[in-house]
Amino acid sequence: MTKTNALRLIEQAGIDHEVREYELAMEDFTAERVAELVEMEPEQVYKTLVAIGDHNGPCFAVIPANTELDLKALAVAHGERKIRLASLKEVLPLTGYERGSVTAIGARKPFPVYVDEIAELFDVIAISAGAKGIQMVLDPEDYIELTNATIAAIGR
């Protein structure tokens, strides 16, 4: 198994977690498909998106696989009038992670993290472990605490 920076940080923090690996072709790469492969409900598998505000800069939006990001709600949470998703070209330089492996844990810079409020309904959620094909399953409260995340209604 690949030991990613995110997994090292989770272990250093003493957070109980499980690693689930899967294989997925890029042409079939959706968060919903990842949920199926790691044998979890889509609302328990979270995708990490990068957004950029006009004034406060980049942030992470962490939403369930089966939802879309509500940019207006994220803008409000991030204290912005306008916010946009980062382009694929911007994601790697900002985070150090490629599409499909983005996680707020161990990112190049510690941008603010906003987690959709539904995460608190579950005992465990799955988050990218910082490499394609690897998810870490952990208590959402541990993830929120480790990333210093703000809970917000950002999924729809």
Query: What's the whole-number average pLDDT of the chain?
Result: 91
Collect all residues with Cβ–Cβ distance below 8 Å to 89 and sequence separation of at least 6. Answer: none
β-pairing, 83-85 vs 150-152, is unpaired
Tens digit of each residue's pLDDT (9 = 90 or more) over 47-63: 999 999 999 999 999 99
CB 38 within 8 A of CB 126: yes
Tens digit of each residue's pLDDT (9 = 90 or more) over 10-58: 999 999 999 999 887 666 667 788 888 888 999 999 999 999 999 999 9
Collect all residues with Cβ–Cβ distance below 8 Å to 100 and sequence separation of at least 6. Answer: 26, 29, 128, 132
CB-count exposure of residue 71 (10 Å: 0-12, 13-18, 19+): middle
Residue 131: pLDDT band by 50, 70, 90 thresholds?
confident
Residue 133: pLDDT band by 50, 70, 90 thresholds?
confident
Domains of the chain: 5-152 (3.90.960.10)
Q: Of 133 and 140, which is predicted with more confidence?
A: 140
pTM of the model: 0.92
> What pairs with residue 134 in β-bridges?
21
Tens digit of each residue's pLDDT (9 = 90 or more) over 62-80: 999 999 999 999 999 999 9
Owner of token pair 């609302």: 43
> Would you say how long the chain is, in residues?
156
Tens digit of each residue's pLDDT (9 = 90 or more) over 142-153: 999 999 999 999
Whether residue 1 is predicted with pLDDT greater than 90 in this model: the reply is no
β-pairing, 57-64 vs 17-21, is unpaired
